[in-house]
Each structure stands twice: as C-alpha cells, then as structure tokens.
Amino acid sequence: MRLFVNKNKIKLSKSLTRLIALTVIMSSVVTFASGCAAGGQDSRKVLNVYNVGDYIDESLISQFEEQTGIQVQYSTYDTNEMMYQKVKSGSTKYDLIFPSDYMVQKMSREGLLKKINYNNIPNFKYIDKSFVNPMYDPTNEYSVPYMWGTLGIVYNKKMVKEKVDSWDILWDKKYSRNLLMFDSVRDTMGIALKKLGYSMNSTDKDEINAAKGILIKQKPLVLAYVNDDGKDRMIAEEAAIGVFYSGDFSLMKEENENLEYVIPKGGTNKWTDAICIPQTADNEDWAEAFINFLCDPKVNAQNTEYIGYSTPISEGRKLLADELKNNKAMYPDQDILDKSEAFLDIQANIKEYDKAWIELKSY
C-alpha cells in the first residue's frame, strides 16, 4: 500500500499489509431521484465507488456527473486489506474499487473481480505499454492501472554527505539511531531481501530467514519503525535517513528542501494501484464509463497533479508541468525500473514473513 497525502496536510492512507492500526471510514453519500419512467422503472443512475482516502481530485467526480448524468456515491478506505474484507463480505455492493497490484492478483484468483469490457474503455489506448499485461494481471482482464510509484530512500543532505545509491546505507553504523524504517512486514522484509540479492517475493524459507537475520543486526541502528508519522519526523529532521514512497517524497520536499530521494541501484519495489470492478457490481457499464473518463489524458493530468504520484498514461504525463514530468524521483530511468519488481500475492507463504517479522520485533 501507499501513503496517500493531500496538498495541505500529510495524512495517512495506500496499502499493502501495511501502515495503520486504527481506521475510520468516511463516506460521502449523495443520491437523487428524478421520478419513475412511464413503465414504472426507477430512473436513478448511481455509481458506487470505493477508493482510498484523498486519492482522487473530487472536482473530477462532479465533472463526470455533469457529463453523464450518473450520480457517484463515493466512499473511502485506508488499506487494501480493509477494502478486501468489505468486498469479500458482500455487505455493500461496490461498482469500482482501487486495489494495489498484489491485491488485484489475490482478488482475481478468488473470483472477486469481474472481467472488464474494453469496448467501453477506448481511452485504454493511452496506457503506456510498460503497464499493459502486468504480472499481477497478465491478461489485463481484471484491472486498469491508475497510479504508480517506487519505494526508496529519503535522506537529509545536511546530515548525509556521502553518495546514497544502495540499500547498504541503511546498515551503516555511522547512522546509528538516525534511521527510520517502515513498520511494515512486506516493505521492510522486501528491502532486506533486495539487499541480499533475492526477490522481494521470495518464498524460500532460507532467504526469508536470511533477511530476518540482517534486519535483527540492523535493529540497534533504527531510531523507530514508523507509519504515517515518519514523514513528519523526517521533515522535522529527527532522522538523517528513512524509507518512503516516491509520492510521499514529492510533498515532503515542499516542506523541507534539504530532503532528497534515491532509488537504490539494485532495484526496488515498483508498485501499481489499479481500478477494478467487483464481482458484486450492479453497474459495470457505468463503472467502465468512469474508468474511461479517468483515462482521458486531460482528466488524468489534473488528477495526477492533485494526487502527487506517477501516471501510467503517457499522454497524461505529457500534459504535466516540466518539473513534474521530468522529475527522476517520479519517473526514474528504465534501467532502474528493469531491476525493480511489484509485490505479488504470495498466498500461504505470507505466514513465513509474519513469523520472521514477529521474531524481529520481539528481539
């Protein structure tokens, strides 16, 4: 999952196994009734959308409603796992959800997603080819990419004078009690696996234990394992180095110009959030109309500037301001991306990660 933020105040989200303990679901529900058709048929058109908090420019919702006459009932969640449980329970029927890559894979495998009719999404042609047929949805039957980003190292250039280009710096004793690590099993275990030259999706018990071992060695150097509070602590210069997502950095930089972002040369987690239609959806045609709307380059550019993450829509990126579309933190070189990987649903093997994580935290 990712940390989602708004322009005025950094706040907690989006995502993976990850990053929160207490959640509040805020719902904004607006409906309208325009009477009944001649044959007694209800003429209301309501699209039920379930998205991560502050993960869309809501003025675009009003624009979509005006263009189509479809009223959007918009609700928010904080993590993939919260969304998954709500959709799986069937307690509320949503027409659109916005899961991360590994959750798309999990939900499609469990039969919780409908196949998408791309005849209703002509704007899919604007999706960059590198985001088509991803490993988490190899046939692109169940998802359309929404936003993406990377996991990397944020450091304070006043406090770190050496070149930062490797995960190894997170184990450098000169930064003892000056490091912030994610309080997140897949992210932090993934970093350790990558440092050792293994896949972030490893299911090999020896590799998972090796990752746990170097994290135990690192633990005395760590100031804190953080969630949302890590951004504020980094901005306040309580630590020299921390692990963050690319989109979080773009807004952290606005608060502290001494912060820099680096994707380690060995590669990292390249994540993608997608748009999907749950199996319980009643209005898939309207859902596909909304997906198509969001894939319009002009709409996408406006949405991307609001959210602060990276867009998978090439034509949308071209419309961004130069300082955004040419930002290497947001759009890194392909050689780095080629060494990076998405988190995948490792199914029952997550128990080995959870066991290692518990041992690390209790050490």
Mean pLDDT, contiguous 10-residue spans, the chain (363 residues): 40 37 33 34 76 94 97 93 94 95 96 98 97 95 97 97 96 97 94 97 97 98 92 97 92 94 95 97 96 98 95 97 93 93 94 96 93
- Token representation of residue 28: 């904004």
pLDDT at 228 (0 to 100): 78
Q: Residue 18's pLDDT is what? A: 36
Q: Given this model, what pLDDT does residue 44 score?
A: 67
> How distant is the alpha carbon of residue 235 from its chain centre?
21
Single out the residue of 215, 211, 226 nearest to residue 363, CA to CA: 215
- CATH T-level assignment (fold) for domain 27-148+272-330: D-Maltodextrin-Binding Protein; domain 2 (3.40.190)
Q: Where in the chain is the domain with CATH 3.40.190.10?
A: 27-148+272-330, 149-269+340-362
Looking at domain 149-269+340-362, its CATH class is alpha beta
Measured distance CA(74)–CA(344) in Å, rounded:
28
CA dist 222 and 215 (Å) reads: 10
pLDDT of residue 269: 96
Maximum pairwise Cα distance, the chain: 77
